[in-house]
């Protein structure tokens, strides 16, 4: 066999290997994007469903009032001298 033929065969095998590797790489990237899209859709559905089921208009006001009251009580207690 001629040296040029051996080099051509080796180059052909290398090109096939590189082509297969690139094909698998792009296939894996496509799979990752597909999973990303599925997770994004699930999170979007959850984000839309949660406010309908769990959030009321009174809760933020009540929690802020309770928080203010707790802060005032804490400040008031801290001002009292120890006995």
Q: Could you read off the pLDDT tens digit of each residue along the chain, which spans 83 residues? A: 799 999 999 999 999 999 999 999 999 999 999 999 999 999 888 877 776 656 566 655 555 555 555 555 555 555 555 54
Residue 68 CB-half CA count within 13 A: 6
| pLDDT value for 47 | 78
User: pLDDT value at position 83?
Assistant: 46
pLDDT of residue 74: 56
> 63-75 burial, b if ≥16 CB within 10 A, otherwise e?
eeeeeeeeeeeee
pLDDT value, residue 48? 75
């Amino acid at each position: 066999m001629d040296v040029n033929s051996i080099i051509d065969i080796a180059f052909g095998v290398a090109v096939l290997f590189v082509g297969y590797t690139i094909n698998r790489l792009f296939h894996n990237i496509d799979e990752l994007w597909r999973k990303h899209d599925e997770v994004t859709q699930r999170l979007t559905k959850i984000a839309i469903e949660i406010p309908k089921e769990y959030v009321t208009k009174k809760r933020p006001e009540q929690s802020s009032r309770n928080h203010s009251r707790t802060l005032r009580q804490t400040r008031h207690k801290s001002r009292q001298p120890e006995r």
